[in-house]
């Protein structure tokens, strides 16, 4: 009996120290040395360990969905750089399907707009979309907040984070922002090379890098590997005639444009494009080299495609893999606890 009790105690202490250890490594938000200044308004949402922990719990909380089955983490899986591995379009509540591919939750502090069409301009407003979307979590935010209020833990977690137990829209959204803002990926081989931390590119990676700078970096600009612009990259118009950015601006010049995605961790974020139509990176490179379609508003940079021979593609793929950040994919701080 005593032994059992001791064992239980020991296990409990172990668990506590484990999560404590993880939080001991919590350093708040740190701008990586090779990154530009972030654009998120941290002054209105100062990062603290308690708010971050609350945000992480909310991120993995299925109660934010109508029938308590889908959490943010359902379609944003850490091991796939917070995308939904293996799904062309997001797979939500009641097995309903969305129309677009889940984008990674990564380096959002630098992102001026959210979603493939940039319809949301403030990270704090972002979670409202998947929570209320009929095919994603299909819940009314006010309802979700009610569930949190009657939960045995959340009022105390909100108190720890904000000083009292009130659970409001702003507090909930800002806590979620804190978690997402700390999903920073900046520890790839590329970063190690670019920060002179000792790593060097192989000759193949180096050749791929030179090629990348020549042929890809205008849109996939370093070091975030996107210029955050909206472009039509010449993929055929989808059967659902998704007009992308146009739906937000109603400007004809934006028809069929989608946000340039970052290429960080691209090795793990398949399938590719706004509707996940390409399942391999080879298919993506083949598209740029030989299958560009001349649809309205095709980006002028792509009007003749990107000439790439077989060796070029091999070198480019070698470089793209240097953007993989395994620490990001396995960092316990970002995992469901």
Contact 174, 51 (CB under 8 A): yes
Task: State the virtual CA torsion across 175, 177, 182, 186 in degrees, nearest 10.
Answer: 180
Name which position in 53, 254, 267, 325 contacts another protein (CB under 8 A): 254
Of residues 45-104, which lie at the interface with another protein (CB under 8 A)?
none
CB of 140 to another protein, least distance (A): 6
133 binds another protein (CB under 8 A): yes
Considering the complex, state which of residue 119 and residue 155 has its C-beta at the smaller distance from another protein: 119
Question: Which of 16, 197, 250, 279 is in the footprint of another protein by CB under 8 A?
Answer: 250
At 298 the three-state DSSP class reads strand
Query: Which of these segments, 31-39, 168-176, 264-272, 287-295, binds another protein (CB under 8 A)?
Result: 168-176
Question: Which range of residues in 91-99, 115-123, 201-209, 315-323 is near another protein by CB under 8 A?
Answer: 115-123
> Of 170-178, 267-275, 306-314, 329-337, which part binds another protein (CB under 8 A)?
170-178
Stretch that binds another protein, among 6-14, 66-74, 114-122, 261-269 (CB under 8 A): 114-122
Of the candidate residues 181, 186, 248, 285, the single one contacting another protein (CB under 8 A): 248
CB contact at 8 A, 306 and 211: no
Query: Which tokens hold the place of 127?
Result: 């979670």
Instruction: Please spell the DSSP secondary structure of 120-157, one letter per residue.
Output: B--GGGTTHHHHH-TTTT---HHHHHHHHHTSSSHHHH
Q: Are strands 230-231 and 258-259 parallel, antiparallel or unpaired?
A: antiparallel
Considering the complex, state which of residue 191 and residue 254 has its C-beta at the smaller distance from another protein.
254
CB within 8 A of 310, min separation 6: which ones? none
- What is the crossing angle of helices 154-162 and 169-181, to 10°? 80
Binding site for another protein (CB under 8 A): 41, 44, 112-113, 115, 118-122, 124-125, 128-129, 132-133, 140-143, 145, 168-170, 172-174, 247-251, 254
């Amino acid at each position: 009996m005593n032994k059992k009790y001791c064992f239980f105690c020991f296990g409990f202490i172990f668990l506590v120290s484990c999560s404590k250890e993880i939080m001991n490594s919590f350093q708040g938000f740190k701008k990586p040395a090779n990154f530009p200044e972030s654009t998120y308004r941290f002054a209105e949402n100062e990062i603290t360990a308690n708010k971050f922990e609350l945000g992480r719990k909310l991120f993995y909380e299925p109660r934010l969905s109508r029938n308590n089955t889908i959490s943010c983490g359902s379609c944003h899986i850490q091991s796939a750089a917070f995308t939904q591995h293996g799904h062309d379009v997001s797979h939500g509540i009641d097995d309903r399907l969305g129309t677009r591919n889940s984008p990674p939750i990564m380096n959002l502090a630098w992102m001026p707009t959210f979603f493939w069409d940039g319809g949301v301009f403030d990270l704090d407003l972002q979670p409202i979309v998947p929570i209320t979307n009929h095919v994603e979590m299909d819940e009314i935010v006010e309802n979700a907040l009610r569930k949190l209020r009657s939960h045995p833990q959340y009022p105390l977690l909100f108190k720890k984070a904000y000083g009292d137990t009130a659970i409001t829209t702003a507090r909930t959204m800002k806590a979620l922002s804190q978690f997402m803002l700390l999903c920073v990926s900046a520890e790839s081989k590329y970063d190690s090379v670019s920060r002179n931390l000792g790593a060097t590119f192989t000759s193949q990676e180096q050749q791929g890098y030179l090629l990348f700078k020549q042929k890809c970096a205008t849109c996939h600009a370093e070091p975030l590997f996107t210029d955050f612009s909206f472009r039509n990259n010449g993929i055929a118009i989808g059967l659902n005639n998704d007009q992308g950015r146009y739906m937000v601006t109603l400007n004809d010049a934006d028809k069929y444009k989608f946000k340039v995605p970052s290429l960080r961790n691209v090795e793990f974020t398949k399938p590719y494009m706004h509707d996940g139509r390409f399942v391999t990176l080879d298919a993506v490179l083949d598209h740029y080299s030989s299958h560009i379609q001349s649809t309205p508003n095709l980006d002028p940079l792509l009007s003749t495609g990107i000439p790439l021979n077989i060796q070029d593609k091999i070198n480019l793929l070698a470089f793209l893999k240097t953007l993989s950040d395994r620490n990001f994919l396995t960092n316990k701080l970002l995992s469901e606890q």
